[in-house]
Structure 1
Amino acid sequence: MKTLYRRARIRVAGLRMVLIPGVSAPDGLVAAPTDLRAVDPFVAEELLNGRIVLAGRIYELDGVSVFADELPSQAFAESLYSFEWLRHIRAHRTNECCAKARQLVAEWMALHGRKARGLAWEPDIAARRLIALLSHSPVVLNDAESGFYRRFMKTLGFHVRYLGMIARFAPDGETRLRIHIALAIASICMSGKQSWVSRQARRLSREMERQILPDGGHVSRNPRVLLDLLLDLLPLRHSYINLGHTVPSGLVSAIDRIFPALRFFRHQDGDLGLFNGATSTLANELAAVLRYDDTAGLTTRELPDMAYQRLVAGDTTVLIDTGRALSVELSSTAHAGCLSFEMSAGRYRFIVNSGSPENGSVELKELARSTAAHSTVTLADTSSCRFSRSAFLGPIMVQGTREVTVNRTTGPNKNDIVSATHDGYVADFGYLHEREVDMNEAGTRIRGRDIVSVGGKNNKHIPESLLAVARFHVHPLIELSQFNDETVVLTAPDGTRWQFSVPGRALAITDDIFMANVSGPRRSQQIEVAFEVPEVREIRWFLDRKA
């Protein structure tokens, strides 16, 4: 009901924006925050050639406004309406290219700029658009006429008023935080009263303290969100300083907490772990952010609030998801990947989760949320969490993991051991899943154990038999070769080899999809170990580095 109420309030806000005038144009702009995101010159060149390239699709500009036409996909539309593509114009900042971008902004303002409804005015897209228009105002306003300048400023004012009205009712998590970031950026970039700057700074501080957990993680439990937030927060902090404003205390402390958490999720190849909606990470964006990391803190072994474990020895890293969605509303972006793990060694990732497609279809994103898309155990081809498909409720979790227990110890040989159990399958089948991961001191051997045991209150209706499958998704760069029924060798491009074995059990190499590829989903492979429960309650597996 809370979700429905919030959606209704956002729609009412859009209606009020149309029926109740009162948007005054700011006097002017005093700054434009730096955009730390990567720039692609190809996008700018294609725009000069009359084509828009976004979300893996191409749109030909042939006289009809792109904003009045049918668009290639929803992902394309979201990218287009966010105007984040304006940053690519910096790579080809000629008068001609700036004029092309300004023409598109003018078309959008004429068709959608004063009607706060539809996809273009979804809270997250509107917030991203305001940040983009402010950050790239020098591009848009380059050699602009006075009439366009006035319309542009009025559009900015319209955004500020709309986002201010819906901030309390926006979806919890990243969207609501981004709205407060956008409003804080607007308050210092537009010439306005100091009271407005202070008010937005206080609101941002409160939201940062609420959403950034004590361990530096984000309430969404998505590692990629940490990077995306820093890409906006760091320029905002610099703008506060450069313009002589007091930096909000909540902003400073949150940034200091986020950096160690972001490093926690870095694999040996520099990419981030693929958990809970994380997708591909551009190396230059991550590098651009980490340049500002002056916390000088060591990477921790666990994030207790975000609920992840990290094992590191030698040049081997293992990341394990030991948590669940922190609320029903936040579960709308959660994945059913509890107890999944990823492993990297040297310069390569070996075992991964499938990740989330950045520009994929709704069906592909739903598949990415399933337990089968994660390196963990699936029972009866069913996910450990069920997600709503109701248009009214949204994709929230309606059934699934409620309790996760975690125990971390050090073995007699100084080996690092993580053991965790989740109850995501108790409601359907009456079974608990326990996983133990043990890494030796040298980082050359990883021992795993998966146990399916009776638990919870649903013990009267336990199936006589059901199929369990332990999946180990392999990164597309890794080559697999089956040594025998129980053993597979994983070979990285540089020749590094790891042997995966399951004593006493047959394993299979099957086709897979790696969804977190920069250029779109890519074919890959996975290792599957199937066993019948309750005939077999436990399997053991090993990853050994080969000379």
Structure 2
Amino acid sequence: MTRGPHGRDTTSTLDRLKQRGRQFAFTNPLYERGLRGHVPTRFALIPPDPWPGRTDYGQAMLSGIYTICGAPKHLGDRIFSGYAERAPAGWLRALHGFHWLRHLRACGGDQARRRAASGVMQWINTYPRWEPDAWAMDATGARLSHWLSQYEFFAPGLSEDEQTALLESAAMQARHLIRNVGKNAGRYDGPEGAGEVLAIKGWLLFALCTDAHEFKLPLALDTLAAVLREQIAGDGGHVTRNPEEHFGVLRDLIDIRAALVAAQQPVPVYLQDGIDRMVPALRLFRHADGGLATMNGSRVLDPLVIDTALAQADARGRPIKSLPQSGYERVAVGRTTIIVDTGSAATKPYDHNAHAGLFGFELSHGRERIIISCGHDAGEGALFDPLRSTAASSTLVVADTNACEVQPGGGIGRSPTKLASLRESGSYGTRVIMNHNGWQERFNLIYDRTITVSDSGEAIFGEEKLTGTAGHRFTVRFHLSPDVQVSPVQGGALIKPLSGTGWRFQAQGAELDVEESIYLGDGAPRRCYQLVLKGETEDRSALALRGDRRIGAMIGWSLTRERKPARSPDTSEILHL
């Protein structure tokens, strides 16, 4: 079952029928019997695991507090009961994936080892046969990968009988993946994209660590090749357009390559090529603080982990400014970085986490983020759908209506039929020009946005234009980092980062207001503010030159960096959290 906010079932009729079909097949005793077979007596290889864990998370787990999808929950000693029985789907997939073993390893010590071993055995005893959340393909792939890579850490905490039970369970899970992962199987239960690569990784690593023939290593490699051909665009971007999922796929490919090398197996050309093409694209998504842009379902992520991936990748390829197929532009001038979403939402079946923030942008200066996107509810809880809306990105919204249809619980419906972007450079600096018709069918409006970054990087100019009919309310939103202060000043607003040197925001053609916002870019929800330009489209055809189209609205705005540290506003006028 696909759970949306508060655990509600949000699946479509077709998806529900598919799920019932899978449930009928997977719960059949004959299917379970088919998963049993030869059981390895040991792991012949332990795959390398260079990824750092978080000691603070590991220490908290010793007290029963598990941080999953950025949200700490008290699970106590019985991990897979209580809250886990009613949790949202994204949170559950992460719990069942066992990535948290790495945090216990970072904590170290016998208590952490026993906690890890106990968690593994609790899962084996609780889910001896197929269950929709626990045996989801992406969760199963992640679980096998982490059981293998962390085995030397937690195995001393297992008895001989428990180690045998682990090998039996892992072999059944691997056979489940073999039967269902890949386009030919037709029963992959998603979410497709990064989750499919993760499922293949679990299968492939288990085959490398046990019996390559029994667990069909050549088929796993062929399946991976087919999936990568479909998922990695020509510019190196991932088909989901999600920076975090892009990173996840790259990280999985690095792990697969390392395991092949450790097993003295050849590394396929397509695998190395995928890594080489994805690394430059990953660099495009990074702000100067080392984290990712929080667009299209992404969170910031730990810069140390991203640095580790780039070091492990050892990839060829020069830095890039544009991802024309994936739909992103990066403008970096001086200490100023702007990342602009110039594309439409991901298409099915890769749109589960997709956002409708068309033409949103993020601004950072040095290591300080200024303009942001609101982030993503990775646990798929109450904020999952609201954060996927157009209003949760720093862009324009007409009549509180998304530029793409956001389907409850995941996925995108209606999308613009026309979308274009162009990057230009000149004496004025760098300009990104964008256009889409996402509101044409309902409101007869075409949206144009132009963002220009000066050649010094100290000034950003924007132009918002709606062409079409009158009488439609609109807003242009600029979400501000929780780490900045904002105060109204004459003719605009002053944005003050922690460094003290402020940015002055000014606009014309719309009313400026300051409203509260929310940010889920780096963990638990944080309160922040947003600058909001408000207006209504007008019929100006009588004022237009002959041959011109009617202009529904024209808004201009600018962000200019103060040449000296911004004055500290009076406490009566300051807005910060």
Residue 504 of structure 2 corresponds to 499
Residue 451 of structure 1 corresponds to 465
**How much has 1:510 moved relative to structure 2?**
1.0
Residue 201 of structure 1 corresponds to 221
When structure 1 is superposed on structure 2, of 150-159 and 26-35 the one drifting more is 26-35
**How much has 1:504 moved relative to structure 2?**
5.0
Name the SS of the counterpart of 2:355 in structure 1.
coil
1:249 corresponds to which letter in structure 2? V
| 1:67 has 2:77 as partner | no
1:172-206 CA-partner distances (Å, limit 9, x unpaired): 31122211122121121223339932332222122
Q: Which of 383, 386, 391 is the aligned partner of 1:364?
A: 383
When structure 1 is superposed on structure 2, of 18-27 and 199-208 the one drifting more is 18-27
Matches within 5 A, 1:321-400: 321-359=341-379, 361=381, 363-389=382-408, 395-400=410-415
**How much has 1:421 moved relative to structure 2?**
0.6
Residue 324 of structure 2 corresponds to 304
| 1:103 has 2:108 as partner | no
Name the SS of the counterpart of 1:90 in structure 2.
helix
Contact residue 321 and residue 338 of structure 1 kept, 8 A: yes
| 1:84 has 2:99 as partner | yes
| 1:164 has 2:178 as partner | yes
Contact residue 352 and residue 473 of structure 1 kept, 8 A: yes
Q: Which of 447, 454, 471 is the aligned partner of 1:433?
A: 447
Contact residue 10 and residue 166 of structure 1 kept, 8 A: no
Residue 537 of structure 2 corresponds to 533
**How much has 1:223 moved relative to structure 2?**
0.8
Measure, in 2, the Cα distance between the counterparts of 1:317 and 1:76. Answer: 32
Contact residue 384 and residue 424 of structure 1 kept, 8 A: yes
Residue 316 of structure 1 corresponds to 336
Q: Which of 512, 517, 521 is the aligned partner of 1:516?
A: 521
1:434-470 CA-partner distances (Å, limit 9, x unpaired): 101111222122111011113xxxxxxx5x5111100
Residue 147 of structure 1 corresponds to 161
Measure, in 2, the Cα distance between the counterparts of 1:19 and 1:191. Answer: 20
Measure, in 2, the Cα distance between the counterparts of 1:215 and 1:3. Answer: 32
1:545 corresponds to which letter in structure 2? R
1:381 corresponds to which letter in structure 2? D
1:122 corresponds to which letter in structure 2? A
Q: RMSD of the TM alignment (CA)?
A: 2.3
Residue 489 of structure 2 corresponds to 483
Contact residue 472 and residue 526 of structure 1 kept, 8 A: yes
Name the SS of the counterpart of 1:399 in structure 2.
coil
**How much has 1:533 moved relative to structure 2?**
0.8
**How much has 1:328 moved relative to structure 2?**
2.6
| 1:283 has 2:303 as partner | yes
Contact residue 35 and residue 172 of structure 2 kept, 8 A: no
1:3-34 CA-partner distances (Å, limit 9, x unpaired): 56754554355225335453331232122223
Name the SS of the counterpart of 2:230 in structure 1.
helix
Residue 542 of structure 1 corresponds to 558
1:14 corresponds to which letter in structure 2? F
Name the SS of the counterpart of 1:509 in structure 2.
strand
Measure, in 2, the Cα distance between the counterparts of 1:285 and 1:538. Answer: 43
Q: Aligned pair in 2 of structure 1 residues 269, 53: CA closer, same or farther (>3 Å)?
A: closer
Contact residue 461 and residue 559 of structure 2 kept, 8 A: yes
When structure 1 is superposed on structure 2, of 193-202 and 203-212 the one drifting more is 193-202
Q: Which runs of 5+ in 1 are unaligned?
A: 455-461
| 1:31 has 2:55 as partner | no
Measure, in 1, the Cα distance between the counterparts of 2:393 and 2:345. Answer: 16
Measure, in 1, the Cα distance between the counterparts of 2:372 and 2:211. Answer: 48
Contact residue 139 and residue 199 of structure 2 kept, 8 A: no
Q: Aligned pair in 2 of structure 1 residues 365, 291: CA closer, same or farther (>3 Å)?
A: same
When structure 1 is superposed on structure 2, of 101-110 and 272-281 the one drifting more is 101-110
Name the SS of the counterpart of 1:310 in structure 2.
strand
**How much has 1:415 moved relative to structure 2?**
1.9
TM-score by length of 2: 0.86
Measure, in 1, the Cα distance between the counterparts of 2:216 and 2:132. Answer: 29
1:497-521 CA-partner distances (Å, limit 9, x unpaired): 2211103543111111112133x11
1:489 corresponds to which letter in structure 2? L
**How much has 1:471 moved relative to structure 2?**
0.4
Q: Which runs of 5+ in 2 are unaligned?
A: 1-12, 540-551, 564-577
Instruction: Tell me how many residue pairs correspond in the alignment.
Output: 528
Measure, in 1, the Cα distance between the counterparts of 2:420 and 2:67. Answer: 46
Q: Aligned pair in 2 of structure 1 residues 13, 163: CA closer, same or farther (>3 Å)?
A: farther
**How much has 1:127 moved relative to structure 2?**
1.7
Residue 402 of structure 1 corresponds to 417
Measure, in 1, the Cα distance between the counterparts of 2:492 and 2:48. Answer: 51
Q: Aligned pair in 2 of structure 1 residues 53, 192: CA closer, same or farther (>3 Å)?
A: same
| 1:93 has 2:97 as partner | no
1:478-508 CA-partner distances (Å, limit 9, x unpaired): 1112212x32121211123221110354311
